[in-house]
Amino acid sequence: MSLLKIQDLKVYFNARGKTVKANNSIDLEIRENEILGLIGETGCGKSILGRAIVGLLPDNVKIGGKIVYRSEDILNLSENGLRKIRGKNIGIILQNPSAALNPVLSIGNQISEIYRYHENMGKKEARIRTAKMLEMVGIDPKRMHEYPHQFSGGMKQRVMIAMGLALNPGLLIADEPTKGLDPTTKDKIIDLICELVINKNMSLLLITHDIGVAEKMCDRIAVMYAGEIIEIATIKNILSNPQHPYTQDLLNSLPKKGLNQTAGESPSLSSPPAGCRFHPRCRCIIGKCLKTHPQLMETEKGTSVRCFLYGNN
C-alpha cells in the first residue's frame, strides 16, 4: 500500500552559525496511486521536503531519519544509487519552469537525454519516445527542436511534466506546478497532471500553497507549518472538518470564504517558538501550548492532527 514512507525526517541547514530546522520530525506516507497534497505558507519547508526525497539538497545540509521508497532507504543510498532512483523511480517537477529548463538545449534534447542516459537508447529511439511524450502532454512533436525561450509559460510547464514522467516513475513530485500561470492555463495543467498520474497508476506528491488547486486534485492533504506537519487528513475530512486552528485559518483565507488572514508572521525556522510552534498566532490557545510540544495524533479515521485541542494529546 505504502509507496514512500518518511519517518522522523530532519533537515537542518547551517546558515551563519545558526541551525535552520527546515524539516523537523516529518512523518509522512505516500500510498500507491494516491495524490497527496502538501500545503503551507511560503518558507514552511515544503519544497525542502520535496527535494529531500530525491536527495537534491545543497551540501551544507544535515539529514536524519528515514525515507523509504519501496523498501529502500533513500538516505542510505550512494550518489550512484540516488541517480538511478531519480527520474526513473521518482520524478520531480521543479518550481519555475522558465529557470528550470536549460536555455541552450532544445527541449527535445532535454527530454531525450533521459532515455539515452537511463535506458542506453540510441538517438533515433530516444527521439521517438520523446515525440510520444511531447504528444502526451499536448505539445506538437514537431516543436522538439525548439528552445525553451520559444515556449510560453504553460508550454514550458508541459515540457517539465514530460520530463518528470518520461520514465514512468512510481512517484512524481510536483513543486508548485501552477505557480505563475494564468487561471485557464492553470486548470489545463492541473487536468493534465491528474489525467497522466491516474492513467499511469502513479502516486503524486503535490507541493503547493494554492489550496484551491490542492482541493481539486488531492486524495489526502498534509498541512505543514514551520517545518512540521500539523495535520494530515483525507480531502473530505479537511474540507468538512478541519481540526488544527491553522488549517481552519488556511481554509478561511480562500476567496470564497472571505480572504481572512491569519494574524502574525510565520515563525523563523532557526529559532521557532517553544511549545506549539503555532501558539503565537493561534486563536484557541490553552496553557499547555506555551510550553509543551504537541505530537501528531490520530483523532478520527483519516485525520491526524498536532494540537492539544483534540484527542488525548
Per CB under 8 A, 103 contacts another protein:
yes
The DSSP string of 55-81 is T---TTEEEEEEEEETTEEGGG--HHH
Q: Which is nearer to another protein, 116 or 293 (CB)?
A: 116
Per CB under 8 A, 180 contacts another protein:
no
Applying CB under 8 A, among 14, 19, 76, 102 the residue interacting with another protein is 102
Q: Which residue has the cell 512517484?
A: 171
3-class secondary-structure state, position 52: helix
Nearest by Cα to 303 from 229, 200, 205, 216: 229
Q: Least distance to another protein from the beta carbon of 301, Å? A: 36
Q: Least distance to another protein from the beta carbon of 77, Å? A: 12
Residue 30 sits at the vertex; the CA angle it makes with 27 and 35, to the nearest 5 degrees, is 130
Distances (CA, A) of 166 to 86, 113, 129, 156: 11, 10, 8, 15
205 beta partners: 36, 173
Q: Which residue has the cell 486534485?
A: 217
Q: In the structure grid, which three cell numbers stand for residue 92, read together?
A: 520531480
CA 175 to chain centre: 5
Per CB under 8 A, 92 contacts another protein:
yes
Select from 99-107, 207-215, 217-225, 227-235 the region that touches another protein (CB under 8 A).
99-107
Q: Which is nearer to another protein, 177 or 272 (CB)?
A: 177
Applying CB under 8 A, among 149, 236, 257, 283 the residue interacting with another protein is 149
Task: Name the H helices within the chain.
Answer: 46-53, 79-85, 97-100, 107-118, 123-136, 153-165, 183-199, 211-217, 235-240, 245-252
Ranges within 58-87 binding another protein (CB under 8 A): 82-87
Select from 41-49, 92-100, 188-196, 250-258 the region that touches another protein (CB under 8 A).
92-100
Q: Which is nearer to another protein, 88 or 200 (CB)?
A: 88
H or E, element range at 173 = strand 171-175
Q: Least distance to another protein from the beta carbon of 56, Å? A: 6
Per CB under 8 A, 123 contacts another protein:
no
- Interface mask (CB under 8 A) for another protein, residues 8-47, using x and -? ----------------------------------------
Applying CB under 8 A, among 6, 48, 74, 114 the residue interacting with another protein is 114
Per CB under 8 A, 88 contacts another protein:
yes
Select from 23-31, 114-122, 192-200, 296-304 the region that touches another protein (CB under 8 A).
114-122
Is residue 136 within 8 A of residue 196, CB to CB? The reply is yes
Q: What does DSSP say about strands 203-208 and 171-175: parallel, antiparallel, or unpaired?
A: parallel
Q: Least distance to another protein from the beta carbon of 132, Å? A: 17
- Half-sphere CA count of 13, side-chain side, radius 13 A: 17
Per CB under 8 A, 117 contacts another protein:
yes
Which residues form the interface with another protein (CB under 8 A)? 54, 56, 82-88, 91-92, 94-96, 99-106, 113-114, 117-118, 147, 149-150, 160, 163
